[in-house]
Amino acid sequence: MHGRPREYKNKLKSDPKAQEAYKKKVDAIRNGTALVLEHRKQRKYDPAVLNASAKLLKVVPEIYTLWNYRREALEAAFAAGGEEAQRASEGELALTQSCLMENPKSYSTWHHRKWVVAQGLAPLERELQLISRALDEDQRNFHAWNYRQFICRRMGRSAQDELQYVEEKILQNFSNYSAWHFRTILLHQMYCGGAGSDSVAGQAALPEVGALTRGSASVASAADGAATRGSASQRTPIPHDVLDQEYDMVHQAFATDSRDESPWMYYRWLVGNTLAHLGNQHQPAEAEAAKAQADTSADAAAEAEAVRGRVAAVLEREACRLLEDHLAADPDAKWPLLTLARLREAQARLGLGGSVEDCEALLGEARSLYGRLMELDPLRRGFYQDALEGRAFVVVQALGTV
């Protein structure tokens, strides 16, 4: 759990009685595990050994081999169906709940609970209520967030409903990185997911953020890369009006605590989605051929210019907000400075800052900001030095393998 110190190690060093008790506990776990493994080797699934495995897991839920033994033992019960399968399902759900109370971030326990639910006998609405309570206790438990996604997919719960839930969690705690991350998945699903996009059940692969482009990059090379190597998300980006609302939300988080890293990571993802609109100008070869046959090149050029103008306006707007809303109050704030440097560099290198002279001025501003960050954040001096020299230009392409 976040913020809870583990005191038992210090106690073991200074308390002989605690050391002896710990040794007995370890020996009991070792012997009990050996017993279960021997029965597993012989494919014996006696109720007494199953009970022993349950007791062991309540103490050490990370022993995944014990969970494997239980799954093997319960296959026949689930295959039989009826009351026997229902009892097995309820028993395993109760056991995993007890284990998660001992260790709420046990990979093995969450995996086993998913397996039980996948048998199709667990009440999904009850599972959703349980996970909501778990996230009330620890809002940043990413295991619980992943499990919630699993349950929502099985329920066919709408992405819009989940988006409202996630927003509530973010407003409760702007530092909730897991909630911000889940929001990226939902927005991608709602606006870029294609078939079944209104349901969490149809969500596409997790979004990836951050493609490195070294040296000077032209608009064409950045956009071509998005179109030829990205996913459908570059061809159908999140609409600008939706992104504008997200920018407003994340600026609220900045105003609360500009030192919190989580909202800045989400902001970087938003910028990537804005830049993804540039990739939307370049269609697959078949579409280009159709355009040529229809002789719509003039319209396409006008549309492309309009897209570039909208993206350029967003980048400039965001740069001004950083300067006026954040850096005016705290000129040495690291995250606003770094983000402003990245925005200025993107404007300059992608030709979105006006004339050639204007873009050169913006690039000079970015370099100046990197130099300032080297002084303010000396532990990351090497990164800022690379950025200053043009070796760490980051063009964030949204939602695809780029």
**Are the CB atoms for 309 and 353 separated by under 8 Å?**
no
The segments of the chain whose pLDDT lies below 50 read: 1-5, 8, 194-198, 201-234, 282-288, 290, 396-402
Cβ contacts of 228 within 8 Å, gap of 6 or more: 282
Read off the DSSP letter of residue 158.
Answer: B
The model's pTM: 0.77
The span from the CA of 206 to the CA of 276, in Å, is 16
Q: Where are the domains of the chain?
A: 8-122, 209-398
pLDDT at 286: 45
pLDDT at 87: 95
Cα angle, residue 374 at apex, residues 314 and 362 outer, rounded to 5°: 35
pLDDT at 26: 80
Residue written as token pair 């609409």 = 239
Residue written as token pair 């190597």 = 229
- φ/ψ of 304, rounded to 5, equals -60, -40
The CATH classification number of 209-398 equals 1.25.40
The CATH classification number of 8-122 equals 1.25.40.120
